[in-house]
Chains A and B, each alone.
Chain A
């Protein structure tokens, strides 16, 4: 049964080496200017590292498919949450509030007319 797979130590050592190298790489690229891509690269490298840990250290690669399903569900529902929340924040300024609603910062707040 594949579930009882004992992973050779050699694999663990390879994975930890890749993880350490990627840590150095992520620090190094942070100091180079790629514009908005810096964030994408940083998160991308983190995702690769996380995937390596999940697949090898956590044995997901050798595990039953139902575990893949749940591991994926966590990621998918987090993305759903982020995407729909950001859809609000990124589109708030497309339809600005009427100018009369804007609070003026210079004048102190006066009591509203009754």
Chain B
């Protein structure tokens, strides 16, 4: 084994391959814990949705598909740029890798920016759970009709039957789930910054790119969470 490929092997590993496999497995196990972590929220979501379907429909209609859909596209694009960053690091194109990392980080900030806009709107409309929460389903229905949206039979029933308390429950989960996701995005942006610094320093090469690779796994996972959050929060009962 050449001294070059040994330079990054920590003392307690036999060789670079063992170190790489350990890093990968470690990150995948961490992602399993993340699945179960978000799993608790998804479980609460599913159970309450099965108990209060109307409230979920109304809550969903007060969210903006445009903003949510835009953010979905942004996050998917950031997954691509992340994959490209790993690809570039793997093929010894460190300059390109740094640029892809910057792009990934920027897309992450765009996502968070849109999220801030959405949260601000919810605060304005008193949709943050707590003592100031207020929603009148019938008034919202009137707004929909005034906007010229075709309100079908299902939708009318949902708005008429929804209990504002249950809508508050929807928003508790909305903020818990998207908030927890946003926290992961912020941590991810921090990781990108760290990767960027190290890439610029020339730490990574085709011989050693474990941190880029496993950080990529984390970033993609956060993307996957959003892939589920988008239809489950924004697209309920639109017909």
By a beta-carbon cutoff of 8 Å, the part of chain A in contact with chain B is 1, 3, 6-7, 9, 12-13, 15-16, 19-20, 23, 26-27, 30-34, 38-39, 42-43, 45-46, 49-50, 53-54, 56-58, 63-64, 66-67, 70-71, 73-75, 77-78, 81-82, 85-86, 89-90
Residue of A nearest to B20 (CB): A3
B154 interfacial contact with A, CB 8 Å: yes
Residue pairs across A and B with CB atoms within 8 Å: the count is 129
By a beta-carbon cutoff of 8 Å, the part of chain B in contact with chain A is 17, 20-21, 24-25, 28-29, 31-32, 35-36, 39, 42-43, 46-47, 50-51, 65, 69, 72-73, 76-77, 79-80, 82-84, 87, 90-91, 152, 154, 216-217, 220-221, 223-224, 227-228, 230-232, 235-239
Could you jot down 12 A-B contacts, CB within 8 Å? Answer: A12-B80, A12-B83, A13-B80, A30-B239, A38-B237, A38-B239, A46-B228, A57-B216, A63-B24, A70-B25, A78-B35, A86-B47
Q: B235 contacts which chain A residues (CB < 8 A)?
A: 26-27, 30, 42
Question: Sorted from nearest, which 5 A-B pairs have the closest CB atoms?
Answer: A74-B35, A30-B235, A42-B231, A74-B32, A33-B239
Cα-based distance from A16 to B50 in the complex (angstroms): 33
Q: B239 contacts which chain A residues (CB < 8 A)?
A: 30-34, 38
**Which of A9, A33, A46 has the most B CB atoms < 10 Å from its CB?**
A46
Cα-based distance from A77 to B39 in the complex (angstroms): 9
On whether the beta carbons of A9 and B84 are closer than 8 Å, the reply is: yes
Interface of A is mostly: helix
**Which of B84, B90, B235, B239 has the most A CB atoms < 10 Å from its CB?**
B235
Q: A89 contacts which chain B residues (CB < 8 A)?
A: 47, 50-51
On whether the beta carbons of B79 and A53 are closer than 8 Å, the reply is: yes
Which of A33, A57, A75, A85 is the one whose CB lies under 8 Å from B154? Answer: A33
Evaluate whether A53 and B227 lie within 8 angstroms (CB atoms) in the complex, with A27-B69, A70-B29 already known: yes
Cα-based distance from A111 to B224 in the complex (angstroms): 52
Q: A78 contacts which chain B residues (CB < 8 A)?
A: 35-36, 39, 42
Residue of A nearest to B76 (CB): A19
On whether the beta carbons of B231 and A70 are closer than 8 Å, the reply is: no
On whether the beta carbons of A31 and B220 are closer than 8 Å, the reply is: no
Q: A9 contacts which chain B residues (CB < 8 A)?
A: 84, 87
Q: How far is the CB of B38 from chain A (nearest CB, A)?
A: 9
Which of A3, A38, A85 is the one whose CB lies under 8 Å from B21? Answer: A3
Evaluate whether A90 and B50 lie within 8 angstroms (CB atoms) in the complex, with A9-B84, A50-B227, A73-B32 already known: yes
Q: B217 contacts which chain A residues (CB < 8 A)?
A: 58
Evaluate whether A70 and B87 lie within 8 angstroms (CB atoms) in the complex, with A1-B17, A33-B154, A53-B220 already known: no
On whether the beta carbons of B82 and A23 are closer than 8 Å, the reply is: no
On whether the beta carbons of B73 and A23 are closer than 8 Å, the reply is: yes
Q: How far is the CB of A5 from chain B (nearest CB, A)?
A: 9
Q: How far is the CB of A42 from chain B (nearest CB, A)?
A: 4
On whether the beta carbons of A30 and B238 are closer than 8 Å, the reply is: yes
Q: How far is the CB of A30 from chain B (nearest CB, A)?
A: 4
On whether the beta carbons of A46 and B231 are closer than 8 Å, the reply is: yes
Q: A64 contacts which chain B residues (CB < 8 A)?
A: 21, 24-25
Q: How far is the CB of B179 from chain A (nearest CB, A)?
A: 20
On whether the beta carbons of B82 and A57 are closer than 8 Å, the reply is: yes
Which of A12, A38, A73 is the one whose CB lies under 8 Å from B84? Answer: A12
Residue of A nearest to B30 (CB): A70
